[in-house]
């Protein structure tokens, strides 16, 4: 039996995810990106993990400073916001320009626009997972901003679009009914 026959990729599609903006900063610069792999890994102490593609600019910032911040997006988050953080590189534009943010202890901008909660985290360990690095971190701060419903990855796929190529859940062939998003000017 081939590896392809052993794994029906559709089995992975049933894993539940949210949609988040993960940001980091270093020496006065900041970058953020859309991520779907943020999860709480322990309660005492409060710890989370995030998987970031090694080719993404945000990866570079987390590697250099050892902190990241997370914004949990609400169901009403528009494609303009998701597209800005998910389909464009921060090497070409300031993703935070014109976006509502706050800054807490890490000094990194945290997106509050369409966020139901935010948190800051300090990396204590990493795991190499091939295309991605998993950053395990202690949660050092957080706030609830809204009682709206979180945007799930399933809801995103149904109503907004498909995963970009650097996402851990990227599917080379998207479902037929999945809308596609093209950033302005592309």
Strands laid side by side in the 47-53 sheet: 29-35, 20-26, 67-73, 115-128, 132-144, 47-53, 38-42
How confident is the model over 56-84, as pLDDT tens digits? 999 999 999 999 999 999 999 999 999 89
Domain for residue 177, yes or no?
A: no
What residue has token string 């809308």? Answer: 179
Predicted structure pTM score: 0.81
Residues 6 or more apart whose Cβ sits within 8 Å of residue 62 = 24, 52, 68, 123, 133, 135
The encoded tokens of residue 151 equal 């945007």
How confident is the model over 89-137, as pLDDT tens digits? 889 889 999 999 999 999 999 999 999 999 999 999 999 999 999 999 9
Q: Residue 137: which domain range?
A: 12-159
Report how many domains make up the chain: 1
Q: Do the bridges between strand 38-42 and strand 101-103 make them parallel or antiparallel, or are there none, so unpaired? A: unpaired
Domain for residue 185, yes or no?
A: no
Residues 87, 95 contacting (CB under 8 angstroms): no
Residue 158 or 160, more confident:
158
Is pLDDT at 176 greater than 50 in this prediction?
Answer: no
Domain for residue 87, yes or no?
A: yes
Query: Each residue of 93-127: b (16+ CB within 10 Å) or e?
Result: eebbeebebeebebebbbbbbbbbbbbbbbbeebe
Other C-beta atoms within 10 Å of 182: how many?
A: 10
Domain for residue 175, yes or no?
A: no
Domain for residue 182, yes or no?
A: no
Cα 72 from Cα 69, distance rounded (Å): 10
Query: Each residue of 41-60: b (16+ CB within 10 Å) or e?
Result: eeeeebbbbbbbbeebbbbb
Domain for residue 176, yes or no?
A: no
Domain for residue 73, yes or no?
A: yes
Domain for residue 36, yes or no?
A: yes
Is pLDDT at 28 greater than 50 in this prediction?
Answer: yes
Is pLDDT at 145 greater than 70 in this prediction?
Answer: yes
Is pLDDT at 172 greater than 90 in this prediction?
Answer: no
State the CATH number of the domain containing residue 83.
2.30.110.10
Taking alpha carbons only, the member of 2, 9, 34, 3 closest to residue 162 is 34
């Amino acid at each position: 039996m081939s590896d392809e026959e052993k794994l029906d990729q559709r089995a992975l599609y049933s894993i539940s995810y949210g949609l988040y903006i993960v940001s980091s900063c270093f020496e006065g610069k900041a970058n953020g990106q859309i991520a779907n792999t943020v999860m709480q890994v322990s309660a005492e102490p409060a710890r989370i993990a995030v998987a970031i593609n090694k080719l993404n600019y945000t990866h570079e910032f987390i590697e250099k400073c050892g902190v990241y911040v997370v914004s949990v997006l609400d169901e009403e988050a528009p494609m303009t916001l998701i597209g800005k953080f998910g389909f464009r590189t921060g090497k070409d534009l300031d993703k935070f320009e014109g976006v509502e943010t706050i800054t807490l202890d890490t000094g990194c901008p945290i997106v509050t626009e369409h966020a139901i909660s935010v948190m800051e985290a300090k990396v204590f360990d990493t795991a190499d997972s091939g295309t991605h690095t998993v950053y395990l971190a202690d949660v050092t701060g957080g706030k609830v901003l809204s009682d709206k419903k979180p945007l799930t990855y399933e809801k995103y796929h149904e109503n907004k679009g498909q995963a970009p190529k650097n996402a851990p859940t990227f599917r080379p062939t998207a479902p037929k009914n999945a809308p596609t998003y093209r950033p302005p000017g592309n």
